[in-house]
Amino acid sequence: MDERVAVVVGGTGDLGRLITARFGQAGYDVAVVYRSAADKARALQQQLVAGGRRCLTLQADISRPEEAERCVAAVLAEFGRIDVLVHAHGWLSQLELFHQCPVTTLQQTIAVELLGVMYCCRAVLPQMIARRAGRIVTLASDSGKVGSSAEAASAAARGGVIALSKSLARENARHGITVNVVCPGPIATDSLQRNTAADPLTAKLTEGMIRATPLRRLAQPDEVVDLVMYLATGGAGFITGQAISVSGGLTMC
């Protein structure tokens, strides 16, 4: 059987680490793209290699198009193919009312969360088109469907990711490529727990979201990762152009 290859952008994040490990367990070689967490990238590499897989770690700022292109070129040089591209990166900024948000925060958020996805997709698509196969899955957020107080720029970026993914799904269906978005509500990750402890506004918004969630709790990370893996590797070949919520019914659209 051919070796299959997945690229996980933001592979060192709370969800990215789980996704990377799952790809290893599913028999994929994995390229982990990260911004600064070299120690986490190394630990993931050791974990995958111990499980018999190959793992390439790539430090990059994917808000810069040339860095996204460099990463894809490095993966192709090392592994020869890319079957799956998962975006699990995000720009973690403080929650702020839009009119108080510094312009640099607006620019960084759009650069990482929207343009970063565009640059990676643009870099990876030519070889997927040539191979007439590929799956692209992007972690966005329910905020991209329904908006969110105190994170307007991120919601705008996520709305853009959803529209981008639907457009790419339409353009590339004839090449056998699927493009989907996973939209979590709040997830009980280590970072969210740290942020709710450190920031009263985050804690208040999180409590409010739990109250507003029909299933009355946060998502567990594995519940989100399960859907990512289904869309990326499972029997989801007839699903494309979808933005699927994993949010306990918080949004039903």
* Binding footprint of ligand NAP on the chain (CB under 6 A): 10, 12-16, 33-37, 60-63, 88-92, 112, 116, 139, 141, 184, 186-187, 189, 191-192
CA distance 244 to 240: 11
Contact in structure between 140 and 181 (CB atoms under 8 Å): yes
Of the pair 35, 145, the CB lying nearest ligand NAP is at 35
As measured in angstroms, the least distance from the Cβ of 125 to ligand NAP is 19
Cα→Cα distances 139→1, 21, 86, 145, 241, Å: 29, 17, 8, 13, 13
Given the complex with ligand NAP, which of 1 and 108 has the nearer CB atom?
108
Residue 68 Cβ vs ligand NAP, minimum distance, rounded to whole Å: 9
Q: Judged by CB, which is closer to ligand NAP: 14, or 83? A: 14
Closest CA to 105 of 168, 152, 72: 152
Q: Rank residues 90 and 248 by Cβ distance to ligand NAP and give the closer one.
A: 90
CB of 1 to ligand NAP, least distance (A): 29
207 vs 218: CA distance, rounded Å: 10
The Cβ-side half-sphere exposure at 97, using a 13 Å CA radius, reads 2
Q: Minimal distance in Å, beta carbon 13 to ligand NAP?
A: 2
Residue nearest ligand NAP by beta-carbon distance: 13
